[in-house]
């Protein structure tokens, strides 16, 4: 009896796990694989929102090379990575070190630093727009102390910087939690040994904490660089749908949205831009992982 | 019971994966009938554009009356918010879920017409044409495509609000607001000078409608290309550059949205802003001080014609109940219902003879009536300055080039040349 049951289970084994996986596979297929394949196919067509496309080969990619707005988008997305990633690798680590200690009231600070993470990006974006407005709180303070009004939301570079600041501010808590988890695994004995050898706080940070957290820092760099390259909400909310003055703050994902949506959207061309975003994102991940591997070697 | 083989399972899994996909990708290309002469019956869906919040009782009554008039019909009313309306339409159109009867403006209608999603009323409902103003009927046509694709609905001009208190402070006559662009430029420069650049007169960069009202030819005579880069267009942009440099145009105008410029007007950071009759209630609630000082005037125009916004009601060409959908679209827009809607809010009917009704011609001594009569009068020779084929992408192209000119990165001439080139290219791509 037992033998026949076992053999029946064995016969059915190749099928059963797949049956359990079907719901997940369907969801993945419908919401990830199909849109992805569809985007790749569309990138080689002149499809519009309501008009089916014809195959146009590499025409969309050739057009990209001569599209000023594409280069502006690529520049801004790249600048976003350069501006945001170092800040998001270092600042949450410092915050994590600050709140790591179990002292009275520290839970309040941990919660406070994490609050922006759970806040809606739209709400956060609007609050910052009000703060940085020409007549907002920040400009009123600057005017009071004699600096005068600063065009945070009207100058293309200040706008981009302001959006980066919001991204960093909103992301600090999230990465701080990742670092806190990693810090809990750094052996206390290492710090004690370094202290006995006469290492100060800074030296211990550089020679004990940083090497112990290197793989976590790589993870944070990889996650934040992908998120930064694909930035949309912060810039859209602060710079407006046009992407700042003359569209100079447009990022690549904003360009995809602007080009490919609406009744006259150029779905084919927007798909080509999406494909570029995908390739660059994968390249960024590979670059970070490669840098990590080289360090290991 | 036989155990399914691996191959059988693989085929089943693939089918499970692909079948929903094929449903996603396919659009319902089974066109509905163009014959509207059958029995009016069946369930239809009616979509409006941001009207539920203020006019729910009116539409509930309208639908109930229609269902009573035509037993066997059922109208499901859905309303979409103002923001993202075009995106909602495009998602529905691409997904084959466009409602049977849809509230559209001519620029939103054009892409739906080109995709074959709007019913040609010249074929399906030609008998109703004499009921509407001729200009309103032809306003629902798309250049390059024969036919008329929506029943004309309400018309509006949209007033210009101004802050009398700020006008007074700047030494301007609060009872004599600017009417033409030249007057506007003079007043705006004075306002900026007297307030040391702290109060701007306008919060928005010029749009294609501004170019139209300034007297610029927007398109060539054949309607095949844009032409707003002529000397007159350059002159307008040059004047706006002067305003921007003098801070008579708000420094954040380059990134402004209608919402943000409305807020600037509410906080008295700008002195003039276009709006609608609904805004008055908003001023009353949110900015009582502003409300006390509010002035209402006509749109700025140098052509003698104000800009007219035209709404239409189209019938989905793929509706399963063409007679009911056409009957309902006509019912919503007939003279009687347009007139009763006009009495709910400051809009104007597009049906023949309605504007001669005493409601739009006879003074009763109130400000409200005075404004209504003036608007109805200006509507009689108003022009819809928004080119029907002017897409969102074209609006962005123009806006970005205007911004470059205002920042001094390009000359006004070069900026407008670039904008025309970009818009022409987009026009060609539309096919």
Q: Which residues lie below 8 Å from residue B146, measured CB to CB, with a gap of 6+? A: B120, B122
% of chain B with per-residue pLDDT over 90: 58
- CB-count burial class (<10 Å; 0-12, 13-18, 19+) for B233: buried
Enumerate the residues of chain B whose CB falls inside 8 A of the CB of residue A132. Answer: none
In this prediction, residue B322 carries a pLDDT of 94
CATH of the domain at A90: 1.10.3720.10
Measure the CA–CA gap between A133 and A143, rounded to whole angstroms: 13
Bridge pairing between strands B294-297 and B73-80: unpaired
Residue B251 has pLDDT above 70, yes or no: yes
Q: Does residue A41 sit within a domain?
A: no
Distance from CA of B8 to the nearest CA of A (A): 10
A159: closest chain B residue by CA: B255
How sure is the predictor about A294, in pLDDT bands with cuts at 50, 70 and 90? Answer: low
Of A22, A50, A264, the CB nearest to B16: A22
Distance from CA of B394 to the nearest CA of A (A): 10
How sure is the predictor about B329, in pLDDT bands with cuts at 50, 70 and 90? Answer: very high
Report the mean per-residue pLDDT for chain B. Answer: 87
In this prediction, residue B21 carries a pLDDT of 33
Give the pLDDT confidence of B55-109 residue by residue, as tens digits: 999 999 999 999 999 999 999 999 999 888 988 999 999 889 999 999 999 989 9
Residue B122 has pLDDT above 50, yes or no: yes
In this prediction, residue A139 carries a pLDDT of 93
The whole-number average pLDDT for the span B342-371 is 85
The whole-number average pLDDT for the span B248-255 is 92
Measure the CA–CA gap between A190 and A196, rounded to whole angstroms: 10
- Name residues 83-122 of chain A within 8 A of B (Cβ): none
Measure the CA–CA gap between A213 and A210, rounded to whole angstroms: 5
Q: Does residue A247 sit within a domain?
A: yes
How sure is the predictor about A148, in pLDDT bands with cuts at 50, 70 and 90? Answer: confident
Nearest in space to B375 (alpha carbons), one of B296, B304, B295, B298: B298
Is residue A284 within 8 A of residue A225, CB to CB? The reply is: yes
Give the pLDDT confidence of B154-170 residue by residue, as tens digits: 998 878 999 999 999 99
Is residue B79 within 8 A of residue B51, CB to CB? The reply is: yes
Global confidence as pTM: 0.83
- CB-count burial class (<10 Å; 0-12, 13-18, 19+) for B115: buried
Nearest in space to B155 (alpha carbons), one of B309, B46, B44: B309
In this prediction, residue B6 carries a pLDDT of 47
Q: Does residue A133 sit within a domain?
A: yes
Greatest mean pLDDT among A188-192, A264-268, B184-188: B184-188
Give the pLDDT confidence of B4-19 residue by residue, as tens digits: 454 444 444 333 333 3
Cross-chain Cβ contact A242/B90 below 8 Å:
no
Report the mean per-residue pLDDT for chain A. Answer: 90
In this prediction, residue A4 carries a pLDDT of 64
Distance from CA of A220 to the nearest CA of B (A): 33
Q: Where are the alpha helices (DSSP H) in B177-310?
A: 181-194, 208-214, 231-245, 258-266, 278-286, 288-292
Of B86, B89, B257, the CB nearest to A240: B257
Q: Does residue A186 sit within a domain?
A: yes
In this prediction, residue A102 carries a pLDDT of 80
The whole-number average pLDDT for the span A164-183 is 95
In this prediction, residue A162 carries a pLDDT of 96
Residue B28 has pLDDT above 80, yes or no: no
Of A12, A159, A246, the CB nearest to B400: A246
Helix (H, G, I), strand (E, B) or coil at B312: strand
Q: Does residue A217 sit within a domain?
A: yes
Q: Which residues lie below 8 Å from residue A72, measured CB to CB, with a gap of 6+? A: A247, A248, A250
Of A245, A263, A264, the CB nearest to B407: A245
For residue A186, give its domain range: 70-296
Q: Does residue A28 sit within a domain?
A: no
Instruction: Name the domain count of chain A.
Output: 1
B268: closest chain A residue by CA: A135
Measure the CA–CA gap between B368 and B159, rounded to whole angstroms: 12
ipTM attached to this prediction:
0.78
Q: Which of B9, B28, B90, B149 to substitute to test the interface with A, most A CBs within 10 Å?
A: B90
Q: Does residue A25 sit within a domain?
A: no
Q: Does residue A218 sit within a domain?
A: yes
Measure the CA–CA gap between A188 and A209, rounded to whole angstroms: 10
């Amino acid at each position: 009896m037992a033998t026949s049951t076992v053999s029946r289970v064995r016969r059915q084994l190749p099928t059963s796990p797949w049956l359990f996986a079907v719901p997940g596979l369907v969801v993945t297929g419908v919401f990830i694989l199909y849109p992805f394949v569809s985007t790749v196919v569309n990138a080689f067509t002149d499809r519009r929102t309501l008009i089916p496309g014809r195959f146009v080969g590499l025409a969309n990619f050739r057009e990209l090379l001569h599209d000023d707005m594409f280069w502006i988008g690529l520049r801004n997305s790249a600048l976003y990575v350069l501006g945001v990633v170092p800040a998001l690798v270092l600042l949450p680590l410092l915050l994590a070190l600050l709140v790591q200690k179990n002292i009275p009231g520290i839970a309040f600070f941990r919660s406070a630093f994490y609050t922006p993470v759970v806040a809606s990006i739209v709400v956060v974006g609007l609050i910052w727009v009000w703060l940085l407005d020409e007549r907002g709180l920040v400009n009123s303070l600057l005017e009071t102390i004699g600096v005068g009004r600063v065009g945070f939301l009207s100058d293309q570079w200040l706008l981009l910087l302001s959006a980066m600041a919001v991204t960093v501010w909103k992301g600090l808590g999230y990465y701080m939690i990742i670092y806190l988890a990693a810090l809990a695994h750094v052996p206390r004995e290492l710090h004690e040994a370094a202290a006995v050898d006469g290492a100060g706080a800074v030296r211990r940070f550089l020679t004990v904490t940083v090497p112990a957290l290197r793989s976590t820092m790589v993870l944070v760099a990889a996650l934040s660089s992908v998120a930064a390259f694909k930035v949309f909400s912060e810039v859209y909310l602060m710079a407006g749908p046009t992407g700042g003055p003359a569209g100079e703050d447009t990022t690549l994902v904003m360009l995809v949205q602007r080009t490919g949506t609406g009744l006259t959207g150029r779905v084919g061309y927007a798909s080509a831009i999406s494909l570029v975003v995908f390739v660059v994102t994968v390249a960024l991940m590979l670059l970070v992982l490669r840098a990590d591997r080289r360090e290991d070697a | 019971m036989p155990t399914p083989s691996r191959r059988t399972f693989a085929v089943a899994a693939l089918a499970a994966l692909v079948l929903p996909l094929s449903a996603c990708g396919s659009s319902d290309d089974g066109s509905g009938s163009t014959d509207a002469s059958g029995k009016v019956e069946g369930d239809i869906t009616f979509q409006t554009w941001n009207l539920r919040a203020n006019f729910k009782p009116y539409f509930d009554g309208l639908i109930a009356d229609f269902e009573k008039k035509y037993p066997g019909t059922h109208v499901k009313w859905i309303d979409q918010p103002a923001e993202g309306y075009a995106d909602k339409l495009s998602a529905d159109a691409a997904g084959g879920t466009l409602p049977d009867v849809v509230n559209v403006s001519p620029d939103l209608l054009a892409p739906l017409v080109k995709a074959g999603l709007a019913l040609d009323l010249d074929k399906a409902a030609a008998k109703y044409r004499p009921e509407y103003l001729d200009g309103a009927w032809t306003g629902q046509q798309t250049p390059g495509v024969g036919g008329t694709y929506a029943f004309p609905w309400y018309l509006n001009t949209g007033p210009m609000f101004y802050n009398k208190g700020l006008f007074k402070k700047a030494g301007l006559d609060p009872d004599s607001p600017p009417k033409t662009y030249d007057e506007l430029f003079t007043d705006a420069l004075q306002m900026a000078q007297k307030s040391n650049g702290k109060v701007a007169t306008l919060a928005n960069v010029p749009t294609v409608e501004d170019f139209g009202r300034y007297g610029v030819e927007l398109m060539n005579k054949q309607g095949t290309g844009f032409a707003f880069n002529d000397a007159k267009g350059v002159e307008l942009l040059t004047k706006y550059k002067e305003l921007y440099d003098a801070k008579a145009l708000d420094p954040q105008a380059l990134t402004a949205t209608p919402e943000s410029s409305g807020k600037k007007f509410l906080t008295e950071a700008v002195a003039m802003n276009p709006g609608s009759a609904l805004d008055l209630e908003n001023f009353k609630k949110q900015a009582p001080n502003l409300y006390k000082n509010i002035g209402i005037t006509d749109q700025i125009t140098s052509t003698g014609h104000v800009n007219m916004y035209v709404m239409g009601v189209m019938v989905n060409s793929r509706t399963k109940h063409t007679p009911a959908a056409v009957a309902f679209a006509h019912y919503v827009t007939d003279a009687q219902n347009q007139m009763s809607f006009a009495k709910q809010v400051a809009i104007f009917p597009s049906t023949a003879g309605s504007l001669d009704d005493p409601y739009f011609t006879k003074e009763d001594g109130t400000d409200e009536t005075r404004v209504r009569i003036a608007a109805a009068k200006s509507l009689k020779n108003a022009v819809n300055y928004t080119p029907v084929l002017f897409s969102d992408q074209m609006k962005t192209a123009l806006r970005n080039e205007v911004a470059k000119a205002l920042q001094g990165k390009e000359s006004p001439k070069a900026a407008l040349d670039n904008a025309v080139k970009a818009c022409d290219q987009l026009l060609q791509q539309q096919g």
